[in-house]
Amino acid sequence: MTQRAKPAAPRSRRSSSDRSSRRTLYLNIAFLVIILVGTATLIGAAIASYAGAHWAEVANVNGVSINQDQASAAANVDLFKLTYQVSQLHDDLSAGRISQADFDNLNSNLTTAEQNVSSGVVDALVDDELQAQLAKQNGVSVTDQQVDAQIVADATEQESRHVLMIAVTPVAAGTTPTDAEKTIARETAEAAYGQLRAGTAFATVAKQFSTDATGPDGGDIGWIRQATATQDTNLVSAVFALPASGGLTGVITGTDGSYLIGQLVATASATVDPNYQQRIKDAGVTTDAYRAETRASLIDQALSAKITQDATTVASVQREVSEIKIDTTSYTGPGVQVRARHILYTPGNSDPSTTSSPIPSDDPGWAVAQTEAELTYTKLKAVEGTPAEATEFAAIAESDSKDTGSAPDGGLLPYYDQGSGLDSAFAAAIFAPNVKAGDLLAPIRSQFGYHVILIDSIRPAPADRATTVQKQAATAGADFAALATANSDATDAAQGGDMGWIARDQLTAEQENAIFGAPVGSVSAVITLSDGLYIFKVSQETSRLPDASQIAILKNSAFTNWYAIQKAKATITGPDITPSSVAP
């Protein structure tokens, strides 16, 4: 049976209206896709913009990110606190608890702090984060209860006291009072105290004895708070140690050497602002941000206390050290440094330090000054090279020289080098190639007048000096103390460079690294530090408790120096922070 193929099914034909509907559908889908893509792009841009404004990293501390939102929140907290302090100042001024002068001073400081909040907030947050990390490593923590207590303290208007004061300052003919002048001042203060104890009114005694500007007004210094008082700290401490009901201090020695007596007239007790929490919210500051800032501050205080406590009470490895310092801060070079004595004669005997413009060259006073200088030169030339020369020169300088800065020291000037900016004629004279120590130079004319010059000493440039002294100190049997006395520019040179015992965190990291890197029992190489060239002799090393003098230093320096070292070890980055990653 023959099979026949089935005819193919006929193709359906679409109408023009069908084709048009399909095209419309495709177009609608395409438009929808475009709209969705555009919307997604806008949303993405908005998210990116928000992230840039809020989540952008402003710093990173050991891998912990600090973002813009955190910086803004911290700045808002700082601004609120400063604004609140300003409002308290205004309240104090209105109530007469602070003088206008003190208000102006404190208000100016607060205004400056407000202006610097934005520029300093990132650095502050970096310190907060690093200190939080270090606190955890050192077992330091802060509880919620401590944070609560601090917030109450922030809301507390501290106690203020109305105080009267008598001050008796030693009358000094010069810059420093003599022992006799101090004795007179102390006895005067004791006499005033005796009258007060006998019942004489404070105002009467103050008017009679006080040398302070408040004396004519009865010694009334107004209302003060212990934390912000600008008066002598010893007096303030004594006044706030009195019972709140009032009383009289004894005779107190002030920090400036004056003798002080205080009387407490009235006390305004501390009060807590019941609206403080609402003020925080009204300022746009969140509770979380305020508590975070408070916690960071308390951690800083607790960590500082822990490090200081350890440094002052725990035995540690210390080194007994002597030093020779060759100062480089004033050296501009090139070549040697020259120290000279001079006697200056000026036209009309004018004082160069008070003369605003050069004296005209045709002023007849120049000829007089030249004659005076030549006469002195001739007189000194007669004793040149004898032991009397230096003594005679110093005596004439003290009596005749118009350089009031050097005259009291016999005309002695500091060491200068050719880059010191001296008058060109004076510099040419003392740096002349053949000049040597002990030379008496004929009078030379500078812009100030005529100078008679005696070359006191000439020394090599600091680097050359340090190299020479180090070689001498490293020689077997060398007297390091004698070398320090003769060559060191440090303040301990007179003590043979003896620095005593040095503990960790007692000095700066730079000094500490140099000292603890030097070999024990020998002399170090020349070590370059920021303020000079140093040679250290480490006599011995042992574990010991700090002595009284070290404790006094460590209480002020231990945390600062320790933290500087820790910060140098940390990896800190940020827009305005130089990346650092220093190995421990």
Asked if 167 and 233 sit in the same domain, the reply is yes
Asked if 428 and 467 sit in the same domain, the reply is no
Asked if 441 and 468 sit in the same domain, the reply is no
| Omega within 30 of 0 (cis) for the link into 334 | yes
In 460-503, the DSSP E strands lie at: 498-502
Contact 260, 167 (CB under 8 A): yes
The 3-state DSSP class for residue 366 equals helix
Backbone conformation region of residue 502, classed left if phi is above 0, alpha if psi is from -120 to 50, else beta: beta
Residue 423 lies in a domain: yes
Mean pLDDT of each 10-residue bin along the chain, 584 residues long: 43 52 64 64 51 73 94 93 89 79 85 86 94 97 96 92 95 74 94 96 96 94 86 95 96 94 94 93 94 96 96 96 94 93 94 79 92 96 91 95 93 94 95 94 95 96 96 94 95 95 92 89 91 94 95 94 94 61 28
Residue 321 lies in a domain: yes
Residue 173 lies in a domain: yes
**Residue that finishes a domain, picked among 459, 476, 495:** 459
Dig out the tokens for 314 from the structure.
């725990």
Asked if 450 and 483 sit in the same domain, the reply is no
Q: Which residues pair with 536 in a beta bridge?
A: 323
What pLDDT was estimated at residue 579? 34
Question: Which residue in this structure is represented by tokens 């090599």?
Answer: 460
Residue 28 lies in a domain: no
Q: Which has the closest alpha carbon to 435: 410, 453, 413?
A: 453
- Which domain, by its residues, includes 233? 160-269
Asked if 392 and 471 sit in the same domain, the reply is no
Question: Which residue in this structure is represented by tokens 């105080």?
Answer: 163
Q: Number of folded domains in the chain?
A: 3
**How far does Cα 415 stand from its chain's mean position?**
27
What pLDDT was estimated at residue 434? 92
**Residue that finishes a domain, picked among 412, 435, 459:** 459
Contact 219, 248 (CB under 8 A): no
Q: Which residues pair with 523 in a beta bridge?
A: 537
Residue-by-residue DSSP string for 308-343: HHHHHHS-EEEEEEEEEEEE-TT---SS-EEEEEEE
Report which secondary-structure segment, H or E, holds 263. Answer: strand 259-268
* Cα–Cα distance measured from residue 506 to residue 501, given in angstroms and rounded to the nearest whole number: 10
Burial class (CB in 10 A: 0-12, 13-18, 19+), 243: exposed
Asked if 341 and 386 sit in the same domain, the reply is yes
Backbone conformation region of residue 450, classed left if phi is above 0, alpha if psi is from -120 to 50, else beta: beta
Contact 524, 536 (CB under 8 A): yes
Residues 6+ apart with CB under 8 A from 443: 370, 373, 374, 377, 450, 451, 452
Residue 200 lies in a domain: yes
Angle between helices 462-474 and 480-487 (to 10 degrees): 160
What pLDDT was estimated at residue 22? 63
In 422-576, the DSSP E strands lie at: 440-445, 450-459, 498-502, 527-529, 532-544, 572-574
* Cα–Cα distance measured from residue 111 to residue 82, given in angstroms and rounded to the nearest whole number: 8
Burial class (CB in 10 A: 0-12, 13-18, 19+), 150: middle
Dig out the tokens for 316 from the structure.
């540690």
Question: Which residue in this structure is represented by tokens 């880059």?
Answer: 419
Asked if 368 and 452 sit in the same domain, the reply is yes
Q: Which has the closest alpha carbon to 88: 193, 147, 160?
A: 160
The 3-state DSSP class for residue 236 equals helix
Contact 457, 373 (CB under 8 A): no
Residue 300 lies in a domain: no
Report which secondary-structure segment, H or E, holds 167. Answer: strand 160-168
Residue 101 lies in a domain: no
Q: Which has the closest alpha carbon to 92: 268, 290, 303?
A: 268
Asked if 354 and 383 sit in the same domain, the reply is yes
Q: Classify each residue of 36-46 as buried b or exposed e, where b means 16 or more C-beta atoms within 10 Å of its C-beta.
A: eeeeeeeeeee
Number of C-beta neighbours around residue 75 at 10 A? 19
Asked if 449 and 491 sit in the same domain, the reply is no
Contact 298, 147 (CB under 8 A): yes
* Cα–Cα distance measured from residue 397 to residue 408, given in angstroms and rounded to the nearest whole number: 8
Q: Which has the closest alpha carbon to 454: 464, 445, 442?
A: 442
Asked if 342 and 452 sit in the same domain, the reply is yes
Dig out the tokens for 251 from the structure.
């005779």
**How far does Cα 47 stand from its chain's mean position?**
44
CATH code: domain of residue 472: 3.10.50.40
Q: Which residues pair with 195 in a beta bridge?
A: none
Contact 538, 500 (CB under 8 A): no
Residue 80 lies in a domain: no
* Cα–Cα distance measured from residue 80 to residue 91, given in angstroms and rounded to the nearest whole number: 17
Asked if 384 and 478 sit in the same domain, the reply is no
Asked if 169 and 232 sit in the same domain, the reply is yes
Residue 341, amino acid: R
The 3-state DSSP class for residue 524 equals coil
Number of C-beta neighbours around residue 387 at 10 A? 8
Residue 196, amino acid: L
What pLDDT was estimated at residue 574? 77
**Residue that finishes a domain, picked among 428, 459, 490:** 459
Report which secondary-structure segment, H or E, holds 368. Answer: helix 365-381
Residues 6+ apart with CB under 8 A from 121: 71, 74, 75, 78
Taking CB atoms within 8 Å and a gap of at least 24, the contacts of 173-177 are: 177/257
